[in-house]
Structure 1
Amino acid sequence: MASERRSSEESAKTRTAILDATEKIMREKGYAAVSSRRVAAVAGLKSQLVHYHFGTMDDLFLALFRRTEEAFFTSHMRASASSNPLQMLWDRSIDARGNRLVAEFMALAHHREAIRTELARAAKRIRNVETAVWARMLEEHGISPETCPPVVASVLMAGISRALATEAALGVSVGHAETLAFVERYLQQMGLQRRPTETPARKKRP
């Protein structure tokens, strides 16, 4: 029993190391740079172990996406339950580190049907959470859904953050500061922005 438990723990550690290495490569070099040999080298393992634990590279990408999506969803749920959920969700949506990996999975989805299916499922899941938050907050502040449809607000928030992330990856920052300021100002005017005492330190953007 003890040996089986140790074997299971070692297997879990190896799988985690492989997933961590794959994520690191995708963030730094892009999904096209991911190979079993490179993953193994970054993880400090033999390349055969990559296929032993994940079968194919598609299986590896899928496992990493599901791990990433679950962590992202959990974080979204925490944000939605905070005292200032819209600001928290906005902060998450413009997080450069998270957007980098999402962009790689979106690019990969053009070539992997399984990833495309999972990405669509995850997007719908997140959209439902964000729309529910918008609906609740708008109602609490007396803003009718006709004036600002919750689902439209959710789409706009996601679209703006995605556009900023895509352009930033290309080295384009024209209009970004103004757009960020506009969104912050809009949230503030609606009375939906977090109280000053809860505002986290925000990095200066170029």
Structure 2
Amino acid sequence: MKRFNAFAILLATSVTGATLVGAMTASQPAAAQTVDAGSIVEQLTPKKKPLTRSLTRSLSTQGAGESAEDKADKKFLSTLPTRGLRIDQRKKLDEIVEKQDLPRIDITINFDFNSDQIRPESLADVDELGKALSSDALSKYRIVLNGHTDAVGSAEYNQNLSERRATAVRNFLIDKFGIAPDRLIAIGYGEERLKNAAIPEADENRRVEIINLTSS
């Protein structure tokens, strides 16, 4: 029994560095998480923002057209490369995502140890993602696939691994669902953006974040 427990601990340590996972809700344990196309569509569909007093005043003075800043942001998003973003491009993208509060969702995707091969138990969830992104509701939008790791291992290693895994998900969606390659942007963040910074090795830090680049 002791020998089995020791092996289990070592295996868990290896898996910590081997998987890229996320959570539909932070309180759910990994084993209980489920994802379906409908919930993905719901969370990634742009919502119309409520018309506040400040927004009403802005529209009355500027007209219903986009501001110069909004136009510049839209052009930036439309011209992003699908892979290999520079650091300054990632930083600018992050700023726009936060500023516009773009629709996003984290999902669980497991990979083999030290590999970008999607594990069989995660294929059903990636299938649901593919169904959602190829649905009529989302088919017109550009989507970002952000790969994140925990802080186990070197920063350089985790950066490379997160890029490879984000690209693996992108390729799967293109190959199986025929999603246009220019719609899917694969980005790796490594351990830069821990969801749970208090516990750097936590499962919830290893995830794929899906972002719709259209706010409304």
* TM-score w.r.t. length of structure 2: 0.28
Structure of higher CA gyration radius: 1
Q: Which has the higher helix share?
A: 1
Please give the TM-score of this superposition, normalised by the length of structure 1: 0.29
Higher strand share: 2
